[in-house]
Amino acid sequence: SKLKIGIVVGSSSQQSINRKLAQGLAKLVQDKADVEFLEISHLPLYNRDMDGTPAAQPYEDVKQKIRSCNGILFVTPEHNRSVPALLKNALDACSRPYGQSAWAGIPAAVIGTSPGAAATAMAQQHLRNIFVFLDMPALQQPEGFVRWSDELIDAQGNIGAASHDFLNKYMDKFLAWVELHQKK
């Protein structure tokens, strides 16, 4: 059966270029995997007093979806050279209560786009640091530093010609990575 891939987008902007990239990447693998977008924009800011209370229900719902995935792709902007607060909140909330993290053991990859020359590289490196503690084995190469241009995504929402081969290869490597890390 097909692998199930969850995609987490680290932006809640209605015009998010990272969501556009994520949708393009999802199309690249639509025949090879089942893709579900794991939405995090509605999650309130987490604190530990919520553990075990009705306030934690939105996190528990996302955690259940996370656990149903064979692998998770994070498509994220960079905010002030780090991970956006929106994404950090979801990572933190779904890692708790202690010992009940939903992320543990799930193979992951990170990619992102920005108009800047460094193209989210530092946010990705910060996220890799977090993956270590979350015990998420993360694809190392190729790295997904994608500089945004209007040609990145075409009018139909597909990955544009200039980036197609690289991103197609990136997604194939990710799927192979996910397959490699499935518990038999």
Out of 17, 29, 50, 62, the residue judged to bind ligand FNR by CB under 6 A:
17
16 binds ligand FNR (CB under 6 A): yes
Mark 74-103 with x for binding to ligand FNR (rule: CB under 6 A) and - for no binding.
---xxxxx----------------------
Q: How far is the CB of 179 from ligand FNR (least distance, A)?
A: 28
Q: How far is the CB of 12 from ligand FNR (least distance, A)?
A: 8
- Residue 71 Cα distances to 21, 64, 133, 151, 164, angstroms: 18, 14, 17, 28, 22
114 binds ligand FNR (CB under 6 A): yes
**Count of other CB atoms within 10 angstroms of residue 157:** 11
Strands (DSSP E) contained in the chain are 3-9, 33-37, 71-75, 108-114, 144-147
Contact 90, 84 (CB under 8 A): no
Q: In sequence order, what are the residues at sequence separation of 6 or more whose Cβ sits closer than 8 angstroms to the Cβ of residue 22?
A: 7, 9, 37, 73, 75
Q: How far is the CB of 48 from ligand FNR (least distance, A)?
A: 26
Nearer to ligand FNR, 17 or 35 (CB): 17
DSSP class of residue 102 equals S
Q: How far apart, in whole angstroms, are the C-alpha atoms of residue 58 and residue 68?
A: 16
Out of 18, 23, 70, 124, the residue judged to bind ligand FNR by CB under 6 A:
18
Contact 63, 102 (CB under 8 A): yes
Mark 119-158 with x for binding to ligand FNR (rule: CB under 6 A) and - for no binding.
-x--------------------------------------
Which stretches of the chain bind ligand FNR, using CB under 6 A?
A: 11, 13, 16-18, 77-81, 114-116, 118, 120
